[in-house]
Amino acid sequence: DTGVSQDPRHKITKRGQNVTFRCDPISEHNRLYWYRQTLGQGPEFLTYFQNEAQLEKSRLLSDRFSAERPKGSFSTLEIQRTEQGDSAMYLCASSPGQGWNTEAFFGQGTRLTVV
């Protein structure tokens, strides 16, 4: 088990472009979470999946953001028409889903810079 994997690790894009990030959770983890972390702040929840179903979306997740988890395995987070305010670290985490004392395992994140 290699842990939660995120790709790419870094992304620099021009304002107005679309970007897509990928997250591969630990195999057989039912739950997958996306968080955004800006400098000097803690991670802020964006959305999460139970298998392929998207169960909750934060109000932080504007219409320009969309997330998918086809087949309940990997997940993608797409940001359309990027803005400078989207610059942040995007973290993915997964957990087994059974029991709410379970640990969430985090990936190393994708750092997005919008110029």
Partner 1 sequence: AQTVTQSQPEMSVQEAETVTLSCTYDTSESDYYLFWYKQPPSRQMILVIRQEAYKQQNATENRFSVNFQKAAKSFSLKISDSQLGDAAMYFCAYRGEGNTPLVFGKGTRLSVIA
Which residues sit at the interface with partner 1, rule CB under 8 A? 3-4, 31, 33, 35, 40-45, 48, 56, 91, 93, 97, 99-104, 106-109
| Pairing state between β 10-13 and 110-114 | parallel
State which residue, 82 or 110, has the beta carbon closest to partner 1.
110
* CB of residue 15 to partner 1, shortest distance in Å: 26
Number of other CB atoms surrounding residue 53 within 10 Å: 9
Q: d(Cα 48, Cα 53) in Å, to the nearest integer? A: 9
* CA pair distance 62, 79, nearest whole angstrom: 9
Judge contact between 113 and 11, C-beta under 8 A.
yes
Whether cis (ω within 30° of 0) applies to the bond prior to 96 is no
Q: Which is nearer to partner 1, 91 or 114 (by Cβ)? A: 91
Q: Name which of 9 and 64 has its Cβ closer to partner 1.
A: 9
Instruction: CB nearer to partner 1: give 74 or 106.
Output: 106
Nearest approach, Cβ of 26 to partner 1 (angstroms)?
12
